[in-house]
Amino acid sequence: MSHSKHKRISVVGALAATALMALAACSSGGSTGTTTSGAAAGSGDKLITVGFSQVGSESGWRAANTKDIQETLTKENGFDLKFSDAQQKQENQIQAIRTYIAQGVDVIAFSPVVESGWDAVLEEAKAAKIPVVLTDRAVDSKDTSLYVTFLGSDFIKEGKAAGDWAVTEFGDKPTNIVELQGTTGSAPANDRMAGFKEAIASHTNLKIIASQTGNFTRSEGKTVMEGFLQANPSIDLVFAHNDDMGLGAIEAIEAAGKVPGKDIKIVTVDAVHDGMQALADGKINFIAECSPLLGQQLADVVKQVMAGKTPEKRIITTETTFTQEQAKAALPTRKY
């Protein structure tokens, strides 16, 4: 056989071998492209389906929390995220969790709008052998086997930070405080109130003269503050359980012809952009941070669970506090 013919046969053979290898790689989800499930190229792994029930869209914090979760639990990162917004109604969250159980998702995660009333549906998830991750807010279930972990802030610490600031700011001066509470029965409302009261307990000159829920929203915070202003001629400080209610209080205070941050001081929790801007502008006096950026920690916990590992039962997010000067410095680089 001539050299050239030998050459032709060896070239054809090599091409055929290459084509066969490429075909084999594709079908096994190998490095030549994504598998049908859309998993990242080269991973070949099935996507992890996560059913997430979100509280709602009540505040700037919630919007930042939702954005971070949706931008982290992506197909590129190995997840198939099923996401539902409960419009701050527990019955909607319970229904969403039951739907995820029926769909047979790999993991259920949710931020419980209130602390109580979850045992039955969590028992159903347990019976279906679907692990549950609590993010942001806690439940008061006595049976902690009903969830893998609670990932979120220490709300008592946040309330205490706000109270400690008030003690320093007002010293021995007689001080009338009105409290804009978060959603009734929610962990952040219960714990921030407890932390704040603990901080001021031994300072009898600091008196909470009125408390009412503004449900973590700007509009309800404004309405409640209007009522406080009509009923109480002398208010020195507003303690709002989140920035959004504090921003609503600013609108009410200005409408009453008073200067927020001066005539009536304001301390809030969260440190979302609009709150930090009001702090920098001198309309809020102090903010205890509550980070909404829980997406990466949630992704890590889910992957640990899927790998058969046991995450810590309680994962606390790290946070700080902001004065007006610190807000001016932090604003340009804040992620939310």
- 59 part of the interface to ligand GZL, by CB under 6 A: yes
The nearest distance, CB 52 to ligand GZL, in angstroms, is 14
Distance CA 193, CA 162 (A): 10
| Rounded (10°) CA dihedral 107, 111, 134, 141 | -120
Binder to ligand GZL among 58, 68, 80, 289 (CB under 6 A)?
A: 58
Query: Which two structure tokens, joined as six digits, stand for 298?
Result: 């949630």
Contact between 322 and ligand GZL per CB under 6 A = no
Dump the DSSP string for 75-118: TTTTEEEEEEE-TT-HHHHHHHHHHHHHHT-SEEEE--SSSSS-
Q: How far is the CB of 242 from ligand GZL (least distance, A)?
A: 4
Min. distance of Cβ 249 from ligand GZL in angstroms? Answer: 14
Q: Which of 35, 137, 247, 284 binds ligand GZL (CB under 6 A)?
A: 137
Residue in 216, 228, 286, 322 binding ligand GZL, rule: CB under 6 A: 216
Residue among 298, 290, 232, 249 nearest 61 (CA):
290
Q: Which stretch binds ligand GZL (CB under 6 A): 31-39, 56-64, 302-310, 322-330?
A: 56-64
Residues 62-101 that bind ligand GZL (CB under 6 A): 62
Q: CB-wise, 61 or 286, nearer to ligand GZL?
A: 61
Q: What is the DSSP string of 202-245?
A: T-TTEEEEEEEE-TT-HHHHHHHHHHHHHH-S---EEEESSHHH
Which CB, 109 or 269, lies closer to ligand GZL? Answer: 269
Q: Percent helix, strand and coil across the chain, each rounded to 5?
A: 45, 20, 35
Choose which of 35, 72, 92, 153 interacts with ligand GZL (CB under 6 A).
Answer: 153
Which residues contact ligand GZL by CB under 6 A?
A: 58-59, 61-62, 136-137, 152-153, 188, 216, 242, 244, 269-270, 290
